[in-house]
């Protein structure tokens, strides 16, 4: 399945919906959306990943880039992860740098 990344601003939160497979070829598209969020100086980023089937190390590097680019004051929410993607994240310890949610909850994200 081809990768797709959709960026939108929702009440000051950068919401990025990821679908397909986030591999080395797709990572630049995701990184572009991360740069948009960083430029908007958001307080939170919601990565909706329920339809993301696979994430390669390049995708993980893009996530690390996101965290570094936005700084420690920006909270990153990862929403609806499938098991293979969760395994990739936990193998590296990156789960300690983000907040996981089962479903997108605008109120919970906006009020953090």
What whole-number distance in Å separates Cα of residue 103 and Cα of residue 112? 16
Position 69 scores a pLDDT of: 79
Position 106 scores a pLDDT of: 87
Confidence check: pLDDT of 20 > 90: yes
**Within a domain: 112:** no
**Within a domain: 14:** yes
Span 57-78, pLDDT tens digits:
888 888 888 788 788 889 999 9
The more confident residue out of 63 and 6 is: 6
* Cα 74 off chain centre by: 12
Span 87-102, pLDDT tens digits:
989 988 888 989 999 9
Q: Is 48 exposed, middle or buried (0-12, 13-18, 19+ CB in 10 A)?
A: buried
Q: Which domain holds residue 76?
A: 4-105
What DSSP character marks residue 71? -
* Cα 70 off chain centre by: 12
Its sign, for the CA torsion 54, 25, 28, 69, is positive
Position 58 scores a pLDDT of: 87
> Of 16, 50, 57, 10, which Cα lies nearest the Cα of 36?
16
Percentage with pLDDT > 70 across the chain: 100
- Which CATH number belongs to the domain containing residue 69 in this structure? 3.30.750.24
**Within a domain: 49:** yes
**Mean per-residue pLDDT, 39-65:** 90
pTM comes to: 0.92
Give me the number of domains the chain comprises: 1
């Amino acid at each position: 399945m081809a990768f797709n990344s959709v960026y939108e601003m929702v009440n000051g939160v950068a919401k990025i919906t990821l679908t397909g497979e986030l591999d080395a070829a797709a990572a630049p598209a995701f990184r572009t959306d991360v740069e948009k969020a960083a430029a908007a100086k958001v307080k939170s980023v919601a990565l909706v990943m329920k339809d993301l089937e696979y994430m390669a190390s390049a995708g993980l590097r893009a996530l690390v880039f996101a965290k570094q680019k936005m700084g420690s004051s920006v909270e990153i929410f990862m929403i609806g992860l499938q098991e293979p993607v969760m395994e990739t994240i936990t193998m590296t310890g990156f789960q300690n740098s983000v907040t996981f949610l089962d479903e997108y909850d605008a109120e919970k994200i906006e009020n953090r």
